[in-house]
């Protein structure tokens, strides 16, 4: 069938343009991608090694005490029972790999996203440029990010982390920008009246008052990162996503339910811990 059939104009070779651009990046920035891959791989692997070094029962007790401190005894009890169940089902190593992927992705999203959100809050032109980019990042199907991630970083944990960062970073950027912009104008004027510089105004007035909104954005980033765990397993990222993906391909209902339940427990625990830290 003619590509132009049924269209008003001849079909644009957009796919070819994108592939040429990806080939250009692969050829010209290969050392950069290798360096990024080495750094992310080193961080995630060492993070898993450190977590695996701690006996499961001790790590569960530490997390339960942390939950009690930031939230309540109820969350502490949930952490004991939930993580104990995961350990009993035999998914402890996969859970540590999943937590490693999520934490590395979230920390990278914060390091990149919060400064961009602050920059957007200070300049309308920057907000105008980044808003459609963030729309693109959030609405593009997450599976699509796996294709360039595999081209640039091969298979394994690294492309999973990169795809997760791209997919989950927008809420941190948006809510950092929104939180700072929602600070009462009178407080900003009072700060300016005392001769505060931009850095002083941000550090002592705007960011502290916007912190609850920024933390809400980080919470959303954590949840989106967890939602990418199964998708990232398609490019070889280890963890609970691999358990669920393998169960789907083998139509194994039982293991699929166990893997999915373990993911839900981890997601609820991280969500409540973040909310508790936000209120504290």
Average pLDDT, the chain: 84
- The C-alpha angle with vertex 233 and arms to 152 and 56, in degrees rounded to 5, equals 120
- The whole-angstrom separation of Cα 111 and Cα 224 is 17
Tell me how far apart the alpha carbons of residues 275 and 219 are, in angstroms, rounded to a whole number.
7
pLDDT confidence bin for 3, thresholds 50/70/90: low
Mean pLDDT of 99-105: 87
For the chain, how many residues are written? 280
HSE-up of residue 137 (Cα within 13 Å, Cβ side)? 22
Lookup result for tokens 């309540």: 72
The whole-model pTM stands at 0.82
- CB atoms under 10 Å from CB of 33, counted, come to 17
Mean pLDDT for the stretch of residues 178-194: 82
Read off the pLDDT of each residue in 118-135 and give the average, rounded to a whole number. 88
Average pLDDT value for residue range 8-24:
80
The pair of structure tokens assigned to 227 is 């939602």
- Which structure tokens are listed for 267? 């997601």
């Amino acid at each position: 069938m003619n590509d132009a059939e049924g269209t008003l104009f001849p079909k644009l070779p957009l796919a070819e343009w994108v592939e040429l651009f990806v080939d250009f990046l692969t050829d010209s920035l290969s050392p950069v991608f290798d360096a990024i891959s080495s750094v992310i791989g080193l961080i995630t692997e060492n993070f898993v090694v450190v977590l695996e070094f701690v006996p499961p029962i001790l790590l569960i007790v530490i997390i339960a005490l942390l939950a009690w401190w930031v939230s309540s005894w109820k969350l502490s009890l949930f952490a004991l029972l939930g993580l104990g169940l995961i350990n009993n089902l035999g998914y402890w190593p996969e859970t540590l790999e999943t937590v490693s992927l999520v934490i590395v992705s979230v920390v990278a999203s914060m390091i990149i996203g919060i400064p961009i959100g602050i920059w957007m809050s200070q300049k309308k032109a920057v907000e105008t440029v980044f808003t459609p980019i963030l729309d693109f990042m959030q609405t593009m199907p997450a599976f699509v990010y796996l294709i360039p991630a595999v081209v640039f970083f091969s298979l394994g944990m690294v492309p999973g982390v990169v795809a997760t960062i791209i997919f989950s970073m927008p809420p941190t950027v948006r809510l950092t920008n929104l939180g700072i912009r929602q600070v009462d104008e009178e407080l900003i004027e009072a700060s300016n009246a005392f001769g505060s510089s931009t850095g002083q105004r941000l550090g002592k007035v705007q960011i502290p008052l916007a912190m609850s909104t920024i933390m809400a954005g980080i919470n959303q980033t954590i949840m989106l990162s967890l939602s990418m765990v199964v998708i990232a397993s398609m490019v070889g990222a280890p963890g609970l996503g691999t358990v669920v993906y393998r169960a789907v391909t083998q139509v194994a209902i039982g293991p699929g339910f166990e893997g999915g339940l373990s993911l839900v427990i981890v997601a609820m625990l991280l969500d409540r811990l973040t909310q508790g830290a936000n209120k504290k």
